[in-house]
Protein backbone atom coordinates (compact mmCIF):
# COMPACT_ATOMS: atom_id res chain seq x y z
CA UNK A 1 0.00 0.00 0.00
CA UNK A 2 1.30 3.42 -0.96
CA UNK A 3 1.65 6.22 1.57
CA UNK A 4 -1.44 8.42 1.63
CA UNK A 5 -0.84 12.14 1.96
CA UNK A 6 -3.57 14.36 3.39
CA UNK A 7 -4.49 17.43 1.36
CA UNK A 8 -4.75 20.81 3.09
CA UNK A 9 -8.49 20.97 2.42
CA UNK A 10 -11.29 19.20 0.59
CA UNK A 11 -11.36 19.61 -3.18
CA UNK A 12 -14.81 18.94 -4.66
CA UNK A 13 -14.99 18.36 -8.41
CA UNK A 14 -16.74 20.92 -10.57
CA UNK A 15 -19.91 18.78 -10.32
CA UNK A 16 -19.72 18.48 -6.53
CA UNK A 17 -18.52 14.88 -6.39
CA UNK A 18 -16.09 13.27 -6.10
CA UNK A 19 -14.37 15.20 -3.31
CA UNK A 20 -10.61 14.69 -2.90
CA UNK A 21 -9.15 14.77 0.62
CA UNK A 22 -5.89 12.88 0.17
CA UNK A 23 -3.54 11.51 -2.47
CA UNK A 24 -1.46 8.35 -2.84
CA UNK A 25 2.22 9.26 -2.99
CA UNK A 26 2.89 6.61 -5.64
CA UNK A 27 1.08 8.65 -8.32
CA UNK A 28 4.25 10.79 -8.39
CA UNK A 29 6.44 7.76 -9.15
CA UNK A 30 4.47 5.28 -11.27
CA UNK A 31 5.13 5.82 -14.99
CA UNK A 32 3.39 4.95 -18.23
CA UNK A 33 3.38 5.73 -21.95
CA UNK A 34 1.16 8.80 -21.93
CA UNK A 35 0.60 9.46 -25.65
CA UNK A 36 -2.13 6.88 -25.99
CA UNK A 37 -2.98 7.42 -29.65
CA UNK A 38 0.70 7.13 -30.63
CA UNK A 39 1.02 3.73 -28.95
CA UNK A 40 1.57 0.90 -31.39
CA UNK A 41 1.74 -1.98 -28.93
CA UNK A 42 -1.20 -1.93 -26.49
CA UNK A 43 -4.12 -2.55 -28.87
CA UNK A 44 -6.34 -0.49 -26.51
CA UNK A 45 -5.92 -3.03 -23.72
CA UNK A 46 -7.10 -0.53 -21.10
CA UNK A 47 -10.53 -0.55 -22.79
CA UNK A 48 -11.06 -4.28 -22.25
CA UNK A 49 -13.16 -4.00 -19.11
CA UNK A 50 -15.51 -1.07 -19.67
CA UNK A 51 -15.63 1.80 -17.19
CA UNK A 52 -17.82 3.24 -14.44
CA UNK A 53 -19.97 6.12 -15.67
CA UNK A 54 -22.16 8.53 -13.73
CA UNK A 55 -25.87 7.86 -14.24
CA UNK A 56 -26.50 11.40 -15.52
CA UNK A 57 -23.55 11.09 -17.92
CA UNK A 58 -25.07 7.88 -19.31
CA UNK A 59 -28.37 9.72 -19.82
CA UNK A 60 -26.57 12.50 -21.73
CA UNK A 61 -25.06 9.90 -24.06
CA UNK A 62 -28.41 8.22 -24.65
CA UNK A 63 -29.89 11.64 -25.53
CA UNK A 64 -27.30 12.28 -28.25
CA UNK A 65 -28.49 12.67 -31.86
CA UNK A 66 -28.94 9.77 -34.30
CA UNK A 67 -25.50 10.19 -35.90
CA UNK A 68 -23.88 9.53 -32.52
CA UNK A 69 -26.02 6.42 -32.01
CA UNK A 70 -25.09 5.21 -35.49
CA UNK A 71 -21.39 5.69 -34.66
CA UNK A 72 -21.69 3.37 -31.64
CA UNK A 73 -23.22 0.61 -33.77
CA UNK A 74 -25.39 -0.90 -31.06
CA UNK A 75 -28.75 0.10 -29.57
CA UNK A 76 -28.50 2.48 -26.59
CA UNK A 77 -30.22 -0.21 -24.49
CA UNK A 78 -26.99 -2.25 -24.79
CA UNK A 79 -24.51 0.51 -23.90
CA UNK A 80 -24.56 0.12 -20.11
CA UNK A 81 -25.10 -2.41 -17.37
CA UNK A 82 -28.72 -2.66 -16.27
CA UNK A 83 -28.31 -1.96 -12.56
CA UNK A 84 -27.29 1.42 -11.19
CA UNK A 85 -24.92 1.23 -8.22
CA UNK A 86 -25.28 3.72 -5.37
CA UNK A 87 -21.98 5.59 -5.03
CA UNK A 88 -21.68 8.97 -3.32
CA UNK A 89 -18.42 9.68 -5.18
CA UNK A 90 -20.28 10.15 -8.46
CA UNK A 91 -22.07 13.45 -9.19
CA UNK A 92 -25.56 11.89 -9.40
CA UNK A 93 -24.87 9.53 -6.49
CA UNK A 94 -25.15 6.48 -8.76
CA UNK A 95 -23.18 4.94 -11.57
CA UNK A 96 -23.53 2.35 -14.29
CA UNK A 97 -20.75 0.58 -16.13
CA UNK A 98 -20.20 0.65 -19.87
CA UNK A 99 -20.96 -2.71 -21.44
CA UNK A 100 -18.26 -5.01 -22.72
CA UNK A 101 -18.90 -6.54 -26.12
CA UNK A 102 -16.51 -8.98 -27.80
CA UNK A 103 -13.83 -8.36 -25.18
CA UNK A 104 -13.83 -4.54 -25.07
CA UNK A 105 -15.84 -1.50 -24.04
CA UNK A 106 -18.80 -0.92 -26.34
CA UNK A 107 -17.46 2.59 -27.05
CA UNK A 108 -14.08 1.38 -28.33
CA UNK A 109 -13.38 2.34 -31.94
CA UNK A 110 -12.49 -1.14 -33.15
CA UNK A 111 -11.71 -0.30 -36.79
CA UNK A 112 -9.33 2.42 -35.64
CA UNK A 113 -8.17 3.35 -32.15
CA UNK A 114 -9.46 4.97 -29.01
CA UNK A 115 -12.83 6.00 -27.69
CA UNK A 116 -15.79 6.70 -30.00
CA UNK A 117 -17.16 9.23 -27.51
CA UNK A 118 -13.90 11.19 -27.44
CA UNK A 119 -13.48 11.06 -31.23
CA UNK A 120 -17.08 12.17 -31.87
CA UNK A 121 -16.66 15.14 -29.51
CA UNK A 122 -13.45 16.23 -31.24
CA UNK A 123 -15.09 15.98 -34.67
CA UNK A 124 -18.13 18.00 -33.56
CA UNK A 125 -16.19 20.63 -31.59
CA UNK A 126 -17.72 19.53 -28.28
CA UNK A 127 -15.75 19.50 -25.03
CA UNK A 128 -15.25 15.76 -24.41
CA UNK A 129 -15.53 16.33 -20.65
CA UNK A 130 -19.28 16.77 -21.08
CA UNK A 131 -19.76 13.24 -22.44
CA UNK A 132 -16.75 11.02 -21.72
CA UNK A 133 -16.76 9.29 -18.33
CA UNK A 134 -14.59 11.06 -15.74
CA UNK A 135 -12.98 7.74 -14.79
CA UNK A 136 -11.77 7.32 -18.39
CA UNK A 137 -10.50 10.86 -18.63
CA UNK A 138 -8.46 10.64 -15.40
CA UNK A 139 -6.97 7.20 -16.17
CA UNK A 140 -4.47 5.95 -15.00
CA UNK A 141 -5.58 7.85 -11.89
CA UNK A 142 -8.82 7.21 -10.07
CA UNK A 143 -10.62 8.26 -6.90
CA UNK A 144 -11.69 6.06 -4.02
CA UNK A 145 -13.07 7.14 -0.65
CA UNK A 146 -11.79 10.68 -1.18
CA UNK A 147 -8.29 9.58 -2.15
CA UNK A 148 -6.72 10.40 -5.52
CA UNK A 149 -5.11 7.07 -6.31
CA UNK A 150 -3.31 5.05 -8.95
CA UNK A 151 -5.67 2.83 -10.95
CA UNK A 152 -5.25 -0.85 -10.20
CA UNK A 153 -3.66 -1.60 -13.56
CA UNK A 154 -0.77 0.85 -13.15
CA UNK A 155 -0.41 0.07 -9.45
CA UNK A 156 0.05 -3.67 -10.03
CA UNK A 157 2.08 -3.28 -13.25
CA UNK A 158 -0.48 -5.03 -15.46
CA UNK A 159 -1.08 -1.90 -17.57
CA UNK A 160 0.60 -2.78 -20.87
CA UNK A 161 2.20 0.66 -21.19
CA UNK A 162 3.38 1.02 -17.58
CA UNK A 163 7.01 1.48 -16.67
CA UNK A 164 8.36 4.25 -18.94
CA UNK A 165 7.31 7.81 -19.72
CA UNK A 166 5.46 10.40 -17.66
CA UNK A 167 4.29 9.80 -14.12
CA UNK A 168 0.64 8.99 -13.59
CA UNK A 169 0.24 12.42 -11.99
CA UNK A 170 1.89 14.34 -14.83
CA UNK A 171 -0.19 12.45 -17.39
CA UNK A 172 -3.47 13.40 -15.70
CA UNK A 173 -2.44 16.83 -14.41
CA UNK A 174 -4.43 18.87 -16.95
CA UNK A 175 -7.53 16.73 -16.40
CA UNK A 176 -7.23 17.19 -12.64
CA UNK A 177 -7.07 20.95 -13.19
CA UNK A 178 -10.24 20.77 -15.30
CA UNK A 179 -12.24 18.73 -12.79
CA UNK A 180 -10.86 20.00 -9.47
CA UNK A 181 -9.21 23.35 -10.23
CA UNK A 182 -5.78 24.94 -10.36
CA UNK A 183 -5.54 25.22 -6.57
CA UNK A 184 -5.56 21.42 -6.24
CA UNK A 185 -2.92 21.11 -8.97
CA UNK A 186 -0.72 23.68 -7.21
CA UNK A 187 -0.93 21.66 -4.00
CA UNK A 188 -0.22 18.42 -5.87
CA UNK A 189 2.78 20.05 -7.57
CA UNK A 190 4.13 20.91 -4.13
CA UNK A 191 3.54 17.37 -2.85
CA UNK A 192 5.17 16.00 -5.99
CA UNK A 193 8.30 18.10 -5.36
CA UNK A 194 8.57 16.68 -1.83
CA UNK A 195 7.62 13.07 -2.64
CA UNK A 196 9.11 12.23 -6.03
CA UNK A 197 11.68 9.42 -5.99
**85-130, pLDDT tens digit by residue?**
999 999 999 999 999 998 889 999 887 768 999 999 999 999 999 9
Pairing, β 100-101 against β 104-105: antiparallel
Residue range of the domain that includes 185: 4-195
| pLDDT level of residue 37 (50, 70, 90 thresholds) | very low
pLDDT exceeds cutoff 50 at 38: no
User: Are the C-beta atoms of 5 and 138 separated by less than 8 Å?
Assistant: no
Question: How many degrees, rounded to 5, is the angle at CA 102 between CA 132 and CA 144?
Answer: 40
Is the model's pLDDT at 136 over the cut of 50?
Answer: yes
d(CA 148, CA 100): 26
Q: Work out how many domains the chain is built from and give that number.
A: 1
Amino acid sequence: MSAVLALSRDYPSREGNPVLRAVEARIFALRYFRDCMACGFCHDACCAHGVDIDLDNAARLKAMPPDFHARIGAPASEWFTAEAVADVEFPSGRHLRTSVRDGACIFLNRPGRGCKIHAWCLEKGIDYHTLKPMVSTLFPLTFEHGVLAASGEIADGSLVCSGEGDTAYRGARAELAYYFGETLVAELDSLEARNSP
